[in-house]
Amino acid sequence: MKIHVTGRHMRLTKPIQNYVDEKVSKAQRYFDNIVWAQVLLSVEKRSHQCEIILHASKQTFRSLATSSTLYAAIDMASDKIDTQLRRYKDRVKGRNKKGRASATQALSEEMDPTPVRFSVVKQVPLIPMTADEAAQQMEDLGYTFWMFQDSETKQVNVIFRRLDESFGLLQPTKNVKAAKKAIR
């Protein structure tokens, strides 16, 4: 973070500059997206004034403090800016927690097992046939999938029509690793 210090009606000494840098640098522990800071120090008769302006991404923070000593004014302005940053950070965190809570709740609602409702239950004879014969029968009946017993392996297979108008064939396997890989 770049800190720019300006003194009005006064000379900026190295100790004042270091003190301001130390106080303003503390702001980064609350908000790490601070691009640069501008500190205006001024003296008018017996009152010392400190104005701190922090420029962060999409946000600007400003505090103004007046005191009888310059160091007290810097402390007060620094405390005010720290309070603003803390509030802003809490507000942003609060928004994120609300979003996460609603997303978590929606996810848990989706994962709740809802009872499966069957509108139609059909008894289908398991006739041994080849995949080509099953595809032809599926087309004749106007279905998008068809269960059949493979005449060669004697296993139950499912043939289905894919979105690109080609056919897919589901074959059972006892290899657990291959089954998990196919699901992914």
Q: Does residue 62 fall inside a structural domain?
A: yes
pLDDT of residue 58: 80
Residue 183 to residue 8: CA distance in whole angstroms? 71
Q: Which of 68, 102, 136 is the last residue of a domain?
A: 102
Query: Strand order of the sheet with strand 2-8?
Result: 2-8, 34-44, 47-56, 59-67
pLDDT of residue 67: 93
Same-domain pairing of 15 and 86: yes
Region class of 61: left (phi > 0), else alpha (psi between -120 and 50), else beta: beta
Same-domain pairing of 12 and 85: yes
Q: Does residue 118 fall inside a structural domain?
A: no
Same-domain pairing of 90 and 35: yes
Residue 45's domain is classified under what CATH number? 3.30.160.100
Same-domain pairing of 88 and 9: yes
Owning domain of residue 167:
128-183
**Token reading at 71:** 């160091």
In this predicted model, what pLDDT tens digit does every residue of 123-159 receive, in sequence order? Answer: 878 889 998 998 888 888 888 888 899 988 888 999 9
Same-domain pairing of 96 and 24: yes
- In this prediction, residue 182 has a pLDDT band, given cuts at 50, 70 and 90, of low
In this predicted model, what pLDDT tens digit does every residue of 72-86 receive, in sequence order? Answer: 999 999 999 999 888
Q: Does residue 119 fall inside a structural domain?
A: no
pLDDT of residue 53: 92
Distances from the Cα of 38 to the Cα of 174, 176, 180, angstroms: 70, 64, 59
Same-domain pairing of 19 and 92: yes
- Report the number of distinct structural domains present in the chain: 2
Q: Does residue 113 fall inside a structural domain?
A: no
Global pTM reads 0.52
Nearest Cα neighbor of 134 from 121, 152, 122 is 152
DSSP the chain: -EEEEEEESSPPPHHHHHHHHHHHHGGGGT-TTEEEEEEEEEEETTEEEEEEEEEETTEEEEEEEEESSHHHHHHHHHHHHHHHHHHHHHHHHHHHHHHHHHHHHHHHHHHSPPPP--S--------EE-HHHHHHHHHHHT-SEEEEEETTT--EEEEEE-TTS-EEEE---S-HHHHHHHH-
Same-domain pairing of 146 and 84: no
Size of the chain in residues? 184
Q: Rg for the chain (alpha carbons), in Å?
A: 36
Residue 135's domain is classified under what CATH number? 3.30.505.50
Least confident of 13-17, 22-26, 78-82, 179-183: 179-183
**Bridge partner list, 3:** 37
